[in-house]
Structure 1
């Protein structure tokens, strides 16, 4: 991926790392970067080799959100810009791979909601977060209105949006919006370990787990169980045989994610 567009893509051992790479702008994303982010995520989804995606920011910041300065200088209608942002967020949220946001430094506005669009969020103790929109005369975007109430409840979600304070990582962890809170020198190792474990997991089963959880608020218990049963039938002909054989042999299963019939 062309780093000139503000997005860098690296892949190794089944782990795809997407880096928001505009450090001069604190990794705030302009329209070209949003378009490149979507392209990078879709490329990972389609490559057939990646098992997990890690989203990170270059240098000492995760993401300062949308680059509003660049937006004002571009002769592009705001609706067009918002479509580019929406497409990138949806691509990240719906990619059928486990995703990890690797957060160091600030994650504010759209930057924080990009992190929340990932399945797991790992942050350092020096990370800071804000739903900064109201401070800019804006309402929440990038999926925050859907993600936050599901994660922390309606009242706390409204509080974060009404009072756009800069929160330290400890407070965000206490709210339940971080999976891991680590010291800066532990971040690389922690994320690498989580990514390696996910990359070694059964890819089809994990993708189905992700889809099942993401649809959990959109139907009845009976409908959820029906979706679970349909997913399990796929697993029976994919990685479940390897898991069953490894359990019998007391060995570590090697999951390939391939159809066995």
Structure 2
């Protein structure tokens, strides 16, 4: 049997998903899409999972779309119809983005090398991005006559503002991980040798926190980008009403009063 395209590992309540096409820098094929989406769905459905780490096997996180894949490779024969790249986005990339952005637990990207094109935006879709100092992010789309996808047009302006977003997207220059952290594109960089341990520690910390509150924080901040202040305040009230009736709120308050560590269970 061939080796799986997504390696799945478990450590306590943390599930690690590793893209596993190292010889091709973990670039996307339709088969990799299918395995990654299935692995994310399985993690979402498993009540024991409280945080997901997404990383890449070998020396790269993900080099984006494999341009040799038949679903996207242009047919150069005379009179051949062009490939419908919009269909590829709708069928493969869109569902993947939506699944990551709606996971019922936090998702950490551990970027261990180049993250290019769709690979860069796949990482940015995660809640927190931790990168090795030698890692880099590249919006490579204009180099082949395309626009950022995998949520890039939505993510980039929200993360770094419109001026930087346009520069990053139009020029397609390699952005070192430390610069990405400096401008707020990602959460943090660490020494290369420390990445795995740092990602495990961050994921373990998130797994011990109240999952429903973390996910609601993500949703509220995303929604607030298009709200006026009154609407955002109303949404905060709605969420606090919902979370205030849950077990984790009671547990958090009781633990605070008893000066002990809380044990959160809601998901």
What range describes the TM-score normalised by the shorter chain of this pair?
over 0.9
Q: Which has the higher mean CA deviation after the structures are superposed, 73-82 or 245-254?
A: 73-82
- Kept after mapping to 2: 8 A contact 1:130/1:166: yes
Matched, 1:144 2:152: yes
Taking only aligned residues, the RMSD between alpha carbons, in angstroms, comes to 1.9
Runs of 4+ with >6 A deviation: none
- Kept after mapping to 2: 8 A contact 1:64/1:111: yes
The match for 2:88 is 81
Q: Which structure 2 residues correspond to residues 117-128 of structure 1 after superposition, within 5 A?
A: 117-128=125-136
1:212 to 212, 220, 229: 220
Alignment CA distance shift 1:161-1:235 (3 Å): same
Gapped regions of structure 2 (runs ≥ 5): 76-82
1: CA distance between counterparts of 2:119 and 2:135?
12
Shift of 1:3: 7.5
Residues 214-248 of structure 1: per-residue CA shift (max 9 Å, x gap): 21112222221222112212222221111111111
Q: Which structure 2 residues correspond to residues 47-58 of structure 1 after superposition, within 5 A?
A: 47-58=46-57
Shift of 1:77: 5.0
The match for 2:263 is 254
- Kept after mapping to 2: 8 A contact 1:31/1:81: no
2: CA distance between counterparts of 1:169 and 1:3?
33
Shift of 1:7: 1.7
SS of aligned partner of 2:137 = strand
Residues 168-223 of structure 1: per-residue CA shift (max 9 Å, x gap): 22221222112111111111121111111110011111121111112111222222
2:171 to 163, 169, 184: 163
Paired residues, number: 257
2:250 to 238, 241, 246: 241
Residues 55-76 of structure 1: per-residue CA shift (max 9 Å, x gap): 1000110000011111346998
Matched, 1:45 2:53: no
Q: Which has the higher mean CA deviation after the structures are superposed, 121-130 or 63-72?
A: 63-72
- Give the TM-score normalised by structure 1: 0.92
Gapped regions of structure 1 (runs ≥ 5): none
2: CA distance between counterparts of 1:212 and 1:133?
30
- Give the TM-score normalised by structure 2: 0.90
